Every structure is written in C-alpha cells, then in structure tokens.
Amino acid sequence: MLKVEGVGKSYRKGSLFSANKQHVLNNVSFVCKRGECLGIIGESGSGKSTLGRLLIGIEEPDQGTVLFEGKRIGERKERRGNISAVFQDYTSSMNPFYTVEQAIMEPLKLKNIPRKEASGKIDRLLHQVGLDSSYRTKYPHELSGGEAQRVCIARAVSTEPKCILLDESISSLDGSVQIQVLQLLKKLREIYGMGYIFITHDIQAAAYICDRIIFMRQGRIEETVSIAHLKDVQSAYARKLLHMIIP
Ligand SMILES: Nc1ncnc2c1ncn2[C@@H]1O[C@H](COP(=O)(O)OP(=O)(O)OP(=O)(O)O)[C@@H](O)[C@H]1O
Ligand SMILES: [Mg+2]
C-alpha cells in the first residue's frame, strides 16, 4: 500500500541564508501493507513527525520516493480520501468556529457525498467513537480533550481512507482516556479495515495496537520488528526502550 524508498530530508540550519543543513532523515526505506498497523518509535528529534509529513505528502522528500499504491503521494488527488491524519494537538487541528458537525462534514463535502447521506454518516461516526448526536452542535471549546480527540478520529475515518497517520495522537490525553482511545482505534480498524501509521514515544501503546514497530534513531531506521518478536529486538536502543516495560 505504502512504499517508502531511500527517503532523505534536510532542513536549513540557523539563519535563512545559512548554508548549513541538518539531515533529519537518511535513507529511510520500508513498506506498510494494506490494513497493517505500523508503529514508529523514536526519541524526540529522531525525525518521526518529519517522516509522517512526507508519508501523507504535505512535504516532499529531498531524496527518494513515497509511493501510495504505486503512485507518488505528493499529488493531492492521490491523497484525498486515501490517507488522513490525526495529530497530537487536537485543539489546534480543530477550527474553533466549526461545530463538530461542520468539522466532520468538511472532508465528506470534498468527496462530494450528498448532504443527506453525509448527515446520517455523521451520526453513525459519532456513535462509533462513543459520542451521541447531541455533540453535533458543540464547538471545540465545549469538548474535553478526550472528546475532541474522538471527533478528530471520527473526521479522519469519515472518508474511509485506506491509511490513517496518527502522530502522538493519544500522548496528551490522560492514562485511562489513552486506553479508551486505543481501544477505539482497534475497533475502528476492525470495522473499516484501514491501516495505521502510529507514531509514538510510548512503546506500550505501540505494542498494544501495532503489528510491527520501526525503531528510529537520528533519522535512520535502527530496527524493524514484528510484535510477535518484540522480545527479540537486537539494537541497544530498542532493548533499552523495551526494558522500560519488561524489566
Ligand atoms: N520545518 C522544519 N524546519 C527546520 N527544522 C525542522 C523542521 N521540522 C523539523 N525540524 C527538525 O528536524 C528534527 C526532527 O524533528 P521531528 O519533529 O521530525 O522529530 P520527532 O521525532 O517527531 O520529535 P518529537 O518526538 O519531539 O515529536 C528536529 O531537530 C527538528 O528541529
Ligand atoms: Mg513529533
């Protein structure tokens, strides 16, 4: 479904005119199969979010390619409805002047889904993420963090994309709400069969939801491991992370 080949990305370091470059991603290659949940773990600054932006095509790699079902992801029309994203900061990813209904309606409108059909769909989606129809008319400031994140998830799922990028999507929620949202993501995946790219610091959350995990360090893939073989990771970095959950 998603094929990443030899991807590299650098950003200019320092001032606008500086020639110094910081290599954020180096020769990153992997595939994500249809319906797979692929975790990306790494410490702060290792390039996870940068990779996420390249995967959904909102930025272009300097080297290499990102292909979605054989086509370059940079094309807007390839992206639309195929891949969506949920970020950590749900408050800024929601328009404060949009009600929940308007927020979920937006991607459905872009896909030209008739209004009546979309309206029924919104009720169904809200129900699936554990909110009732009374939430339709609420504004973001009237929602708790967990509720707002559920609305963002409903919105990401609404067009039934083949893949959803989740970048630290549960990190700012408190413990019990994190578990609820993880369970919700698992359930939605059973209903819709989409794949997830799950970016996180939290190896426990990744172990709960992912089929495979990529360990990233300093812009490179250090190791990739399936959940069934998580205990057998080789690299020192992955072992260190793992020791935090299995002493
Ligand atoms: N648009 C940008 N311009 C310049 N530098 C950037 C830009 N985006 C990211 N960087 C730099 O690239 C490096 C990797 O950042 P990135 O956000 O991808 O890390 P991350 O793994 O997601 O970290 P975190 O876990 O803290 O979210 C950082 O050093 C960051 O400062
Ligand atoms: Mg990040």
Give tens-digit pLDDT for 152-209: 999 999 999 999 999 998 888 888 888 988 999 999 999 999 999 999 989 999 999 9
Q: Is the CB of 219 within 6 Å of ligand 1?
A: no
Return the residue whose CA atom lies nearest to atom 30 of ligand 1. Answer: 45
Structure tokens belonging to residue 145: 């963090």
Burial class (CB in 10 A: 0-12, 13-18, 19+), 83: buried
The pLDDT, as a whole number, for residue 78 is 66
Return the residue whose CA atom lies nearest to atom 12 of ligand 1. Answer: 24
The pLDDT, as a whole number, for residue 82 is 87
The pLDDT, as a whole number, for residue 74 is 72
Q: What is the pTM of this model?
A: 0.92
Q: Which ligand sits closest to the CA of 202?
A: 1
User: Is 80 exceeded by the pLDDT of residue 244?
Assistant: no
The pLDDT, as a whole number, for residue 177 is 85
Which of 7, 9, 10, 11, when mutated, tests ligand 1's pocket best, judged by the most ligand atoms within 8 Å of its CB? 11
pLDDT band at 15 (very low <50, low <70, confident <90, very high): confident
Q: 19 or 177: whose pLDDT is higher?
A: 177
Structure tokens belonging to residue 126: 């809200």
Q: Which ligand sits closest to the CA of 201?
A: 1
